[in-house]
Amino acid sequence: MNISKRNKKVALSRWSKIHSKEVAKILNTEEGLILKSKICGFLAGDGSVQVRKDKKGFYHYQLDFFADDEIMKQTYINLISTVYNKMPSCVIRDNCIHARLTSKTIVQDLIKLADFSTKKWTLPYSLFHINGTIEKWLNGFFSAEAYVSDKQIRIQTINKEGMLQVSELLTKIDIKNRTYYYSSKKINESDVTIIVIGKKDSRLKFLNIVGFSHSKKNSKLAKSLNL
C-alpha cells in the first residue's frame, strides 16, 4: 500500500468514528422528530440542502437557510442546535440573514426524509404519523414562503405537486383553503400554483393551530383578525 492510499484509509477511518459520534447525538426522540419536521418546512420554503462533488472527486455537504426575520433565524438556529448539536454561521447579505452549516451528518439525515430542491421539494411524510409534525412543517414552510395581507394568507411556488399536498395538509387539519394556477405569457417564466386562506375563521384557525415563526407575519395576521 502506498503512502497516499494509507493516508486516505486513515482519514476515512477517523471520519467514520467522528460521523458515528455525531449520528449518536441526533435527537431522534418523538420531540426531536417533531422539531425535524419544522426544520424540513423551513428548508422547503427558503433553504438549500446540497451534496456537491468537486473536480477531485470529493463530496461536499452544505445546508443553507435564508431568513428575512430575526425571530425566524433564531428559531431555525435553535432547532438545528437542539436536534443536531451544531451551530450554523450567519452573515447578512442583501438584507437577508444567511445561515450556513457544512455537515455530512445533517445533510444525510435530512435527505432521507425529503427532497429540498426548488422545483421538486417534497414533504417528510414518514414523520406525519406523529402528532404535531404536520402543524410544525406547515409553520416552518409558511413562515418562509407566505405573504400575509389584511384579507388573506397567500403562498405560491412553481412546485404544483408539492403545493397540492400542502393544500391537503391544511384541509386535513380543518383549515379551509383554495388553490389557483397562474401561467405567465413569458416563455422563460414557470407556471405557479397558489394557495389562499381567505376566510376569517380559517385564518384564525391557522393562527391558533399553525402560526408563524416570523414576527412581522404573525403580528400582521393577528392585527388583521383584530386581536
Say what the pLDDT of residue 22 is.
80
For residue 100, what are the β-bridge partners? 64, 89
Mean pLDDT, consecutive 10-residue segments, the chain of 227 residues? 55 61 86 97 95 81 95 97 95 91 95 92 97 98 96 95 97 96 80 95 97 96 94
Q: Are 92 and 66 in contact (CB under 8 A)?
A: no
Q: Locate 138 and state its grid cell.
A: 406547515
Q: Are 192 and 156 in contact (CB under 8 A)?
A: yes
Say what the pLDDT of residue 7 is.
56
Say what the pLDDT of residue 9 is.
59
Say what the pLDDT of residue 54 is.
80
